[in-house]
């Protein structure tokens, strides 16, 4: 387990919750099922995340995360010479029965061009 990756992933969720960001959530259960939804963070407290979208709602308790991988934050994109306006921040948390991937949906500029 990499507590640095978990901490970096949780820091991203903290950042997104403060906005509140629009998030794409993808759940995968040991290769037997997968679901994806998109919505805004509607709650974030004690590592419990709620996302509400059009005709969908999700609740994920991240206090049971075993590890995290593929943590992509704005600072890392800039360090690699990539534009945060073109690439999304994201993190995948590993759970005992599968994984959850969270991706920040790019905000639109006033002229409806993706950041």
Percent of the chain with pLDDT over 70: 90
| Alpha carbon distance 115, 109 (integer Å) | 6
Query: In degrees to the nearest 10, what's the CA dihedral of 41, 70, 66, 48?
Result: -10
Domain 3-104: give its CATH architecture: Roll (2.30)
The pLDDT value recorded for residue 40 is 93
Q: What is the pLDDT along the chain (115 residues), one digit of tens a residue?
A: 468 899 999 999 999 999 888 999 999 988 788 899 999 999 999 999 999 999 999 999 998 898 999 999 989 889 999 887 788 899 999 988 889 999 998 654 444 444 4
pTM of the model: 0.83
Structural domain boundaries in the chain: 3-104
């Amino acid at each position: 387990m990499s507590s640095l990756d978990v901490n970096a992933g949780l820091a991203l969720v903290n950042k997104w919750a403060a906005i509140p960001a629009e998030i794409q959530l993808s759940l995968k259960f040991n290769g037997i099922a997968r679901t994806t939804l998109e919505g805004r963070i509607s709650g974030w407290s004690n590592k419990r995340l709620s996302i509400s979208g059009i005709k969908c709602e999700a609740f994920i308790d991240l206090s049971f995360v075993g590890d995290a991988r593929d943590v992509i934050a704005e600072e890392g994109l800039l360090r690699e010479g990539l534009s945060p306006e073109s690439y999304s921040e994201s993190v995948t948390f590993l759970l005992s029965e599968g994984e959850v991937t969270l991706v920040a949906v790019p905000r639109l500029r006033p002229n409806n061009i993706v950041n």
